[in-house]
Each structure stands twice: as C-alpha cells, then as structure tokens.
Amino acid sequence: MATLPPKSCERAYRNILRTTISTLWRMELLNQAPLHLPHINCRKASYIHIARDELQRRDLFKHAQYLRSHLDQLPLLCLRTQATSYIPSHLHLANDHTYTPYNQHYCPSCLPIQIVGNKLHTLLHCPHSSPLSHPAILTLTRALRRYDLCSWSSHTPLQQTAILLGSSPSKLLRKHDKAWTHSTSTTCTKLIYSLECHLFKHQPSASPRPAQSVTSSPASPPV
Ligand SMILES: [Zn+2]
C-alpha cells in the first residue's frame, strides 16, 4: 500500500478534522435557532438566522466569503456581529441603563407600535429606514439576474437581509463567490453607512459613535 508523505498526511488529517468539527458546530448552532420558532428571541438566534446559508459551507474554520475580500468589510462585520449602537436590538441595555430583553428593544421610529428593531425590520420593513435599502436592492436584483439566480422577491426576508449584509445568495455557484462579493460589497457597505447616518440623525437615543467594542460585545464570533 502506497503511503502518503508526512506533510500530506497531516493536511489530510487536518481537513477531515475540520469537516467533522464543522458539522458538529453547524448542528449545534442550527439547533439553537430553529427556523420554525415564531419569532427570534435573542441576539444569538438573530445572528444564526442571518448567517444560516453561510453556515452550510463545509469548512467553518475558513472565513465566510464576504470576510475574504480585500475591500473594507468592517461596517458589514460590525452590523452582522451586532456590535453597533444604532440598531435597537443590538443593545443590551435600555436608555436608563437597565437590562431589556431582546424582544423589547422596539424600533423608536415605529413607536407607539411595538416592533422589535432588529436588522430585518430596519432594512426591509421599517417605513422610516427601509427606503434606504431600495437602491441596494435594485443593484442586487441586477446582480442576481446576471448570475442567473432566483429573483430578489423569491428569497425569504432573512435571506434578503443576509444578502444586503454581504452574504452570497444560497444558490450561487461556488466558483462565482469571489466575483459576487467583489461586485456587491461596495453597495452593501454604502447601505450600512447611509443607514448609520440616518439613524443617528433620527434616533435621539442612538449614540454618535458605533459601540464596536465598548458597550456591546459581538453576539457570536464571525463564522
Ligand atoms: Zn421601524
């Protein structure tokens, strides 16, 4: 029987371990945030729901595609890991510094209607902030067409949120991952900046500086 050289053995063993651990890791994460639950009730579940399609990649030790670009992805990373102070559901505390459960961080623009101010609401449904997403949605719709993928409206709201935040569409061929990120990242980043600017202007409770590491810790490490 031919024996592999030691380096190749090491590499093969590492790859098997990575795949096995990734499978266990993925199962644990998906079990923590089942899609059938009527609503998202914590920061971690929100994070997992949006990263759901990306968690399907075989090796979770490799960064998601949007993090492997040379472009500035920090705004996307901050928003996805909930390290911002302008999305209400990203905050641990209320304005009076008391702990507030995730599902009571209401969108201030929609009060007195009590709607959780999470990314999905802010980007897609809030009558005050969602119009900012329209130019990005137009660009992404064209990109979906270019790659011969399902239309924007056939994606679920969670998938649409993920795509607006830099994810590749679930049906995109792996060979096009890099090109997708390259052609859409700037659009997604611009959207985050305009959202940030809009919310600081219109939400008196939002602090003028994103709380990247001081008041809010990421919900989960990027995977
Ligand atoms: Zn709202």
Q: How far is the CA of 143 from the centre of ligand 1 (A)?
A: 28
Euclidean distance between CA atoms 36 and 4, whole angstroms: 46
Euclidean distance between CA atoms 76 and 79, whole angstroms: 5
* 15 domain-assigned: no
Q: How far is the CA of 130 from the centre of ligand 1 (A)?
A: 8
Q: How far is the CA of 145 from the centre of ligand 1 (A)?
A: 30
Q: How far is the CA of 20 from the centre of ligand 1 (A)?
A: 41
Q: What is the pLDDT of residue 223?
A: 52
* 57 domain-assigned: no
Two structure tokens written together for 106: 């209401």
Q: How far is the CA of 180 from the centre of ligand 1 (A)?
A: 30
* 45 domain-assigned: no
The number of beta carbons lying within 10 Å of the beta carbon of residue 89 is 24
Q: How far is the CA of 194 from the centre of ligand 1 (A)?
A: 16
Q: What is the pLDDT of residue 37?
A: 63
Q: How far is the CA of 106 from the centre of ligand 1 (A)?
A: 8
Q: How far is the CA of 113 from the centre of ligand 1 (A)?
A: 9
Q: How far is the CA of 111 from the centre of ligand 1 (A)?
A: 8
Torsional sign, CA 79, 85, 89, 93: positive
The conformational region for residue 119 under phi > 0 = left, psi -120 to 50 = alpha, else beta, is: alpha
Domain containing residue 193? 63-202
Place of tokens 């063993």: 13
* 178 domain-assigned: yes
Q: How far is the CA of 118 from the centre of ligand 1 (A)?
A: 9
The total number of structural domains that make up the chain: 1
Q: What is the pLDDT of residue 67?
A: 87
Q: What is the pLDDT of residue 85?
A: 86
* 5 domain-assigned: no
To the nearest 10 degrees (0 to 180), the angle between helices 134-146 and 157-164 is 100
Please list the pLDDT of the chain residue by residue as tens digits (223 residues): 566 677 888 888 888 999 999 999 999 998 888 776 656 778 888 899 888 888 988 899 998 888 888 888 888 888 998 888 888 888 888 777 888 888 889 998 998 999 999 999 999 999 999 999 999 999 999 999 999 999 999 999 999 999 999 999 989 998 999 999 999 999 999 999 999 999 888 765 655 444 443 334 445 555 5
Phi, psi angle pair for 94, to nearest 5°: -80, 180
Euclidean distance between CA atoms 178 and 144, whole angstroms: 14
* 149 domain-assigned: yes
Q: What is the pLDDT of residue 188?
A: 94
* 23 domain-assigned: no
* 120 domain-assigned: yes
The number of beta carbons lying within 10 Å of the beta carbon of residue 69 is 15
| First-to-last C-alpha distance (Å) of the chain | 39
SS3 labels along 86-153: CCHHHCCECCCCCECCHHHCECCCCCCCCCECCHHHHHHHCCCCHHHHHHHHHHHHHHHHHCCCCCHH
Q: How far is the CA of 21 from the centre of ligand 1 (A)?
A: 39
